[in-house]
Chain A
């Protein structure tokens, strides 16, 4: 069953690149019932879907310092549990365990990738934009990594703040 609420057609927005103040600023909580938040969620999903290889997008990445992100790891080879397309407001990590190192990139840092340790078992709660319904998600593997990457954006953190060592940053190879 899809966890995606009914959303209006979103608009593809420009993605902000580092260094940009908004990417280093903790984002504010939102009212999930506010129609502008529903429109923001739709824009995030539309922008993510228009970007090849993009598995998630947080509001600060389109210049909006609010706690909303979209995520969809469907079909990704490293995904195990997959909840399909999601939009989440005001997420909170409830538990995180079993860290593993993996390489990740970011639309806001397009030329670099980094090795980052992330929990591979994750419980996240949040609310659905539009209905305000609570959302509780238990996930693992790549979807857990994507959740943590997006929630970091809402806390003003990039993967550059979390790389695992002095040689953990790499030029992005063109493979798309």
Chain B
């Protein structure tokens, strides 16, 4: 059994997920984690599939999807990761918004990385001139949050954007 990463990017149309997953099902593939969104009108999806089928067979099966050349599909094998969730971290949400300009993401994420923050979920949206970044960040419990906030304020002032860092609470029912 191997774990394959299937990436699909291209022209959006109804039925891409149905077509891709039925091709994988025919090979006995089992879908594990997956994510899909529309980025600037482009269909964008990553699927992790565990299967006994060889990689080239999966590629060949999915090649039928790329027939008209508007969808790009790639398949590669991934090593299994040990999935022990870190316990000595606290999840935060970082929200940044302001006028679009180059360098916002690199500046802000560098500040987060310097505090030992690990981004676990990330998305940006550009609508008109408004750029919005949302990142979920695991910060070590030992991190100095006040000093991180101060550095985020300095960087965001230099970039002329607004940044906020809040604890991401998860209500367990």
Contacts and interface: CB of A to CB of B under 8 A. Distances in A.
Nearest to B163: A161
Of B122, B132, B135, chain A has the most CB atoms within 10 Å of the CB of B132
B127 interface: yes
Interface stretch (B5-13, B77-85, B90-98): B90-98
A18 interface: yes
B157 to A, nearest CB: 11
A163 interface: yes
Contact of B97 (A18, A110, A167): A18
Contacts of A19: 97-99, 129-131, 161
B93 A160 contact: no
Given A24-B162, A158-B97, A160-B95, A165 B125 contact: no
Interface in A13-51: 17-19, 24
Nearest to A23: B162
B159 to A, nearest CB: 11
A171 to B, nearest CB: 8
A71 to B, nearest CB: 24
Contacts of A112: 125, 127, 132
A174 to B, nearest CB: 14
Contacts of A169: 123, 125, 132, 134
A127 B136 CA distance: 39
B53 interface: no
Contacts of B162: 24, 160-161
A168 interface: yes
B97 A166 contact: no
A64 interface: no
A19 B129 CA distance: 7
Given A169-B123, A169-B125, A163 B95 contact: yes
B136 A166 contact: yes
A17 B97 CA distance: 12
Contacts, number: 58
Interface string B88-131: 00000101011100000000000000000000111101011111
A109 B130 CA distance: 8
A136 interface: no
Indicate the size class of the contact surface on chain A.
20 to 34
A165 B136 contact: yes
Contacts of B161: 19
Interface string A132-159: 0000000000000000000000000010
A163 B93 contact: yes
Nearest to B170: A165
A163 B123 CA distance: 13
B2 interface: no
| Nearest 9 CB-CB pairings of A with B | A166-B121, A111-B127, A166-B136, A19-B99, A160-B97, A19-B98, A161-B164, A18-B130, A166-B134
Interface of B: 93, 95, 97-99, 120-123, 125, 127-132, 134-136, 161-162, 164, 168
7 contacts: A17-B130, A19-B130, A112-B132, A161-B95, A165-B93, A166-B123, A171-B125
Given A163-B134, A165-B121, A166-B136, 9 more contacts: A18-B97, A109-B130, A158-B97, A161-B95, A164-B93, A165-B134, A166-B121, A166-B134, A169-B134
